[in-house]
Amino acid sequence: MSSTITLWRHARLATMAGDAATTPWGWIERGAFVTEGERLAWVGDGSALPADLARRVTREVDLGGACVTPALVDCHTHLVYAGDRAREFELRLQGASYEEIARAGGGIRSTVAATRAAGDDELLALATARARALMREGVAAVEVKSGYGLSLEHEARCLRAARRVAAATGLTVRTTCLAAHALPPEFDGRADDYVDAVVSWLPQLTAEGLVDAVDAFCERIAFTPAQTRRVFEAARTLGLPVKLHAEQLSDQGGAQLAASFGALSCDHLEHLSAEGVAAMAAAGTVAVLLPGAYYFLRDTTLPPVQALRDAGVPIALATDHNPGSSPTLSPLLMINMACTLFRLTPEEAVRGLTVNGARALGLSASHGTLETGKRADFAVWDLAHPRELAYRFGVNPLRRLVLGAEEASTS
Ligand code: DI6
Ligand code: FE
């Protein structure tokens, strides 16, 4: 069966391909591209379309000079959970800290209770609605972590719901098992036993095809570096890539540990040390910055952005959507916040949600830039230039989202 070959004409293209220093934004002022089936078959200046390809075109779309970027990649979310933590937000505003609430049995544990009590269809409906909200701001690919089930049965339910979000929405979904997120109540005071349990669940979850990567929360209120290492060793035995919630509230040396396992990414990183930066640079590990959590927890320690730049560590950006520390569904707001709070440049911020977000998920071959051979996942914006994605906030200029060369439904 021959697939549709579409010429998309008259676009101002931010391909995000190539080197930012030599081709900022991968910009093509009079851009055009051709899609064949779900893939990009050619991208370039509209006047340079190869004649043999032009002859095969079966459909043309005039984009009217709109700005086009790769669709966004949200590389760190916790989309599957039930309940909310609005009451906890009030308590924090009255002076309670995130860590105090967690130690008192609130925080993640309260979401675990609500998630365990929810049915499969309810979990799917909640996660799907959140995924659609991300799509309305241009997201094509999303990482979804478990971590609110914290038992074999409930982690499996959450990961199955994540897989079903892909089928329900057309999004590309990468699942991450974050069973080592918090200690469930039935393991109170027995963190090492819980880690044994997590290690014993991983083969089964993996055999069911539910796990693309393994993550842990390495922190004073969660798991130690030694416990995290045991989870990572289990992942390595199964051939699974790892990533880490590292140095969010304190410096645990988690980045060095994750880098020694060749981690795809280390995420949060407000308390990252110089040694951690060096280890990530040597391992090619992506730094995922999460300004939503920084903002919502009213953190004041900034991630070491200049040190990451100097070391050549790729910087990604994500929503970290979760009910406790980042209840946002706005990747566009993250672009603005990364600039205002972390002093990323607009181009760095957009790279963070495209090319480097894809890299943090191991999706560089298919996502993150507009280049021949990649998936035809792109966003069309009512903007003259993509730097306006960083400039406006609380504004959604998305005109259309195209996934696999087909208009996406986001309702
Ligand atoms: N760090 C975070 O910011 C989220 N998880 C994590 O490990 C918060 C999760 C929550 O509070 O529910
Ligand atoms: Fe997170």
Instruction: Give the pLDDT confidence of 350-407 residue by residue, as tens digits.
Output: 999 999 999 999 999 999 999 999 999 999 999 999 999 999 999 999 999 999 999 9
2 has a pLDDT exceeding 80: no
Amino acid 311: pLDDT: 98
Tell me, in angstroms, the distance from the centre of ligand 2 to residue 55's CA.
48
Amino acid 1: pLDDT: 53
Amino acid 344: pLDDT: 98
Over range 8-27, report the average pLDDT. Answer: 96
Long-range contacts of 153-160 (CB under 8 A, 24+ apart): 154/112, 154/115, 154/116, 155/179, 155/201, 155/205, 156/204, 156/205, 156/208, 156/210, 157/120, 157/123, 158/80, 158/81, 158/115, 158/123, 159/80, 159/205, 159/210, 159/211, 160/120, 160/210
Instruction: List the domains of the chain with CATH numbers.
Output: 5-70+369-407 (2.30.40.10), 72-360 (3.20.20.140)
Amino acid 411: pLDDT: 83
Beta carbons of 61 and 32 less than 8 angstroms apart: no
Long-range contacts of 157-162 (CB under 8 A, 24+ apart): 157/120, 157/123, 158/80, 158/81, 158/115, 158/123, 159/80, 159/205, 159/210, 159/211, 160/120, 160/210, 161/80, 161/120, 161/123, 161/124, 161/127, 162/79, 162/80, 162/127, 162/210
Amino acid 312: pLDDT: 98
Amino acid 307: pLDDT: 98
Burial 342-358 (b: 16+ CB within 10 A, else e): bebebbbbbbbbbbbbb
To test the pocket of ligand 1, the residue of 103, 298, 322, 326 to mutate (highest count of ligand atoms within 8 Å of its CB) is: 322
To test the pocket of ligand 1, the residue of 325, 326, 334 to mutate (highest count of ligand atoms within 8 Å of its CB) is: 325
> Tokens 């009910």 appear where?
323
- Give the max Cα distance, the chain: 69
Which of 180, 272, 178 has its CA nearest to residue 223? 180
Amino acid 3: pLDDT: 86
Amino acid 105: pLDDT: 80
Tell me, in angstroms, the distance from the centre of ligand 1 to residue 242's CA.
17
293 has a pLDDT exceeding 60: yes
Handedness of CA 280, 353, 246, 272 (dihedral sign): positive
Q: Is 248 in the pocket of ligand 1 (CB under 6 A)?
A: yes
Tell me, in angstroms, the distance from the centre of ligand 1 to residue 108's CA.
7
